[in-house]
Amino acid sequence: MKLLALAVLVVSLAVPALAASAAQSAPTLTAAVGPGFAIKLTEGGQKVTNLTAGTYMIKVSDKSALHDFHLVGPGVNKKTPVAAKTSTTWKVTLKKGTYKYDCDPHAAFMKGSFTVS
């Protein structure tokens, strides 16, 4: 019986550890805006056009006090401040649909989008 109890204890300790490592291995996207009039979202250096639904880490580099990075789509509405340079990481759950990102003061031409399937 002691052995069984030990086995149960080991399993119950191992499950949260597995969940934690799954979160750490979420794909990482890179979002960048500025210092010029440029905005982009990439994964491994490639522009993001289509993603599989799931959890992602987005490393956001807002390199200008004139621009922001604003991501909007199903279940997500996140942005950096316009009047500050910011470096942050967002954890987001992307669902099936279309996501758009832009710089709000210059949304007419600083923008992009991608789909999630």
Summarize as ranges the residues that interact with Cu ion (CB under 5 A): 67, 103, 105-106, 110
Contact partners, residue 109, CB within 8 Å, separation at least 6: 37
Residue 68 Cβ vs Cu ion, minimum distance, rounded to whole Å: 7
Nearer to Cu ion, 58 or 79 (CB): 79
Q: CB of 40: closest distance to Cu ion in angstroms?
A: 13
Q: How far apart are CA 26 and CA 35, in angstroms?
A: 28
Confirm if 59 and 30 have CB atoms less than 8 A apart: yes
Residue 5 vs 108, nearer CB to Cu ion: 108
Task: Report the residue number, 78 or 106, with the smaller CB distance to Cu ion.
Answer: 106
Distance of closest approach, residue 111 Cβ to Cu ion, in angstroms? 10
Q: What is the largest CA-CA distance in the chain?
A: 69
Q: How far apart are CA 9 and CA 12, in angstroms?
A: 5
